[in-house]
Chain A
């Protein structure tokens, strides 16, 4: 098994290797990362050991390979809100594309060369009459393969408990106030659907290119806790 990592080494740390940096070239015989303490001597904890051990056992048994594990970490790292913002920007500028997004986000995203995986993602559109906000009260379901990992607050007890019964109060904590004339609709992702909010396109953006429009879209607006 090759020990050579296929990605660039991160030189942002001048001396000792960052033990949290999977790009560190000092891999052990499985291609796994040995513990490299920072100069500050960051301690490890029981669950870190468990995660390391489980990964190594799975590789020892041929259930996964070190390359697959590294590749999956790279895939996770590669996902961010960016691909979601491209879907939004195209939906704003192309009504027929938007109509397809409203039926099935996964298929529409593929048209843009984006692979958001097979878990079905559905879009909900913010308009003058309704503002949508997404939660998973039971766990933390989130369209990870389209917009990256969820923020800590999305997974928190406070958000999961409160946004279903006092959404307007919670939105205020994000600096968002929705007028009483607009319905607030909360979506609880209790089954295998994931949700993407299409924010309202901001005023004064006519004539902007898709790239410029995508740059306006934030992760939080695609969850529905902010407007643009």
Chain B
């Protein structure tokens, strides 16, 4: 038995290509922008190779359930945590903060 990673999908069978497209929404653009900034020449906090590896390490079922940018933000965040750029504690507090603000604005959670 040999190992085949879940993301390494060239050559597998799959259904027809779905040609529908969605426009990138704000949080996705923000994710994309954050990644480009933390990996730029000035900062070099994360490399694109580390981003890819982080995405590949997402478990197979979850990989398929997540959208493209959900995988990106997961990997960017995990990489920043691993490098100590942000801590789990401050991330948790900030995420609670953001949610509280948004709910105060009248938003609801999925």
Contact = CB atoms under 8 A, between A and B. Distances in A.
B110 interface: yes
Contacts of B32: 76
A76 B23 CA distance: 12
Contacts of A157: 9, 14, 64
Contacts of B48: 192
A152 B18 CA distance: 8
B108 A43 contact: yes
A102 to B, nearest CB: 25
Given A35-B107, A54-B86, A160 B73 contact: no
A68 B30 CA distance: 11
A57 B73 contact: no
Contacts of A33: 26
B98 A56 contact: yes
Interface residues of A, number: 60
B55 to A, nearest CB: 7
A41 B34 contact: no
Contacts of A61: 85-86
Interface in B76-93: 76-77, 80, 85-86, 90-91
Contacts of A228: none
A137 B33 contact: no
A158 B18 contact: yes
B83 to A, nearest CB: 11
Interface in B1-60: 7-22, 24-34, 36-38, 43, 45, 48, 52, 55
Nearest to B101: A34
Given A72-B33, A72-B37, A44 B14 contact: no
23 contacts: A21-B26, A37-B107, A50-B74, A50-B77, A50-B95, A51-B73, A52-B98, A57-B86, A61-B85, A64-B37, A76-B24, A135-B10, A138-B7, A152-B68, A153-B18, A153-B19, A155-B68, A157-B9, A157-B14, A158-B16, A159-B17, A162-B13, A162-B14
Interface of A: 19-22, 33-37, 41-58, 61, 63-64, 68-69, 72-73, 76-77, 135, 137-140, 149, 151-153, 155-162, 164-165, 170, 173-174, 188, 192
